Amino acid sequence: MVKDYLDKFLTWLDQLDYVALGWELSVLGLALVGALVVHRTWGKFLLESSSAIDSRHLKRITMRSLQRIVFPLSMLLGTIVGKAVLQHFGLPVLLLKLAVPLLLSLAVIRLAVYVLRKAFDPRPQMKAWESIISTTIWVLVAMHLLGWLPEVARTLDAVGYTFGSVRISLFTVFELVVAVGVLMVFAAWLSRIIEQGLSKSEHLSASVKVGLGKTLKFLLFLLAGLLSLKAVGIDLSALTVFGGALGVGIGFGLQRIASNFISGFILVFDGSIRPGDVISINEKFGWVQELRARYIVVRDRDGVETLIPNENLITTEVINWSYSDPRVRLKIPVQISYDDDPERAMQIMVEASSVAERVLQDPAPAARLMGFGDSGIDMELRVWIRDPQQGVANVRSDVNLAIWKGFHEAGISIPFPQQDVRVKELPAQA
């Protein structure tokens, strides 16, 4: 096979007109240099001008689209002008005739892939794959225009192995990669559209929205994978072997991944953790931002987002401050001296609770005498709030400051730990 291709290549070289080929290569070289200069100037200008515009704005998308096709269109223009000049002098332009549709297809493909990326999934991961996808499509189009695609397909199909009744070749693998890529991108786009529609629904709870979104996304990706296998002619009954291998893999090393994945569905469908809930787990306090397949995102008051595996929420004690009733009670400990009046102190503590607007009056704030400590009388102010998602430390701070001012005006002292040392006997020298 290799010898046949080598003979065809040598025959093609013998038929070349090297003088005409030199002129055509010179035209392509000049067009390439001119396109690079235009791309460095206009492309850089478009890129910098659009950087300050919102990523979803039509003006930014238009400018970024132009930036991607400046190079191929500039080279295409130079090639067309050079082709016209060579034809004027009666020189053959076979290579330039082939370069024109190749450059035009490159511009169209780069523009189409960019627009599809913005429409389907604008995340950074897709941006990294944009050049690879557009280059791959352009190579396939180029081989089709050159007439090489059928021969390349036959060559790739000739290299393969047979597993039982299933034959897998390099061409089958390539078809599978293309089918999986196209169908998975479509499934991701469709699932995102469905999730956006569910998020706007006013008749579904937050947990039901997340649960339906995750379930439909999983089913869409599963369907895309099965359709990809069916498209390349692989019998789906062969998946039984893969299923057994997957079971062995889960048994040996993927237990935690499977556990987190299943735990995520349990959390969604039992409604114990919902987006927007205020939770405490392992000394972490924050708001649930997202429920993902493997973890949840919890954001604290410092703006730090913690990724907590779903399995931890199933096996660890979790405090959900807003599970059934958003109202929570805060306990603020206070200690006064034994020389002060506890009833007056309790009255000041209750009055001090009114400075915090978030403190509820029903249930009413209450002060309690809890015990008699070593340094003073232990007391506690108990207040209720209904919005723990706004934080609890700020309420404690405001109330503590008001208690301090009230005690200071009333002459009530807050004791600090003291120790009396009693000397039973001193040395004679003292």
Tell me: do 406 and 383 sit in the same domain: yes
Tell me: do 342 and 403 sit in the same domain: yes
Best CA proximity match to 401, nearest among 344, 339, 354: 354
**Alpha helices, H only, 355-428:** 393-410
Best CA proximity match to 125, nearest among 135, 116, 117: 117
Does residue 282 belong to any structural domain of this protein?
yes
Last residue of a domain, one of 94, 113, 147: 147
Q: Which helix (H) or strand (E) holds 278?
A: strand 278-281
Work out whether strand 377-385 and strand 366-372 pair parallel, antiparallel, or are unpaired.
antiparallel
Does residue 22 belong to any structural domain of this protein?
yes
Tell me: do 315 and 342 sit in the same domain: no
* Domains: count for the chain: 4
Tell me: do 339 and 312 sit in the same domain: no
Does residue 210 belong to any structural domain of this protein?
yes
ω into residue 363 within 30 of 0, thus cis? yes
Tell me: do 129 and 231 sit in the same domain: no
Beta strands in 357-427 (DSSP E): 366-372, 377-385
Domain hosting 202: range is 168-253
Residues of the chain with pLDDT under 70: 1-20, 52, 54-57, 119-130, 160-167, 204-208, 210-211, 232-255, 270, 418, 430
List all residues 6 or more positions away from 266 whose beta carbon is below 8 Å from its beta carbon: 310, 314
Does residue 421 belong to any structural domain of this protein?
no
Give 365's DSSP letter. Answer: P
Confidence (pLDDT) at 14: 55
Confidence (pLDDT) at 369: 92
Q: How far apart are CA 306 and CA 298, in angstroms?
A: 5
Tell me: do 287 and 369 sit in the same domain: no
Tell me: do 316 and 351 sit in the same domain: no
Tell me: do 34 and 143 sit in the same domain: yes
Last residue of a domain, one of 86, 114, 147: 147
The CATH number for 305's domain is 2.30.30.60
| Residue burial 354-388, b: 16+ Cβ < 10 Å; e: rest | eebebbbeeeebebeeeeeeeebbbbbbbbbbebb
Last residue of a domain, one of 320, 348, 378: 320
Tell me: do 93 and 132 sit in the same domain: yes
Tell me: do 299 and 378 sit in the same domain: no
Does residue 265 belong to any structural domain of this protein?
no
Confidence (pLDDT) at 315: 79
Does residue 430 belong to any structural domain of this protein?
no
Does residue 59 belong to any structural domain of this protein?
yes
Does residue 347 belong to any structural domain of this protein?
yes
Query: DSSP string spanning 112-131?
Result: HHHHHHHHH--SHHHHHHHH
Tell me: do 373 and 353 sit in the same domain: yes
Q: How far apart are CA 310 and CA 291, in angstroms?
A: 9
Tell me: do 308 and 340 sit in the same domain: no
The CATH number for 334's domain is 3.30.70.100
222 close to 230: Cβ distance less than 8 angstroms: no
Confidence (pLDDT) at 252: 54
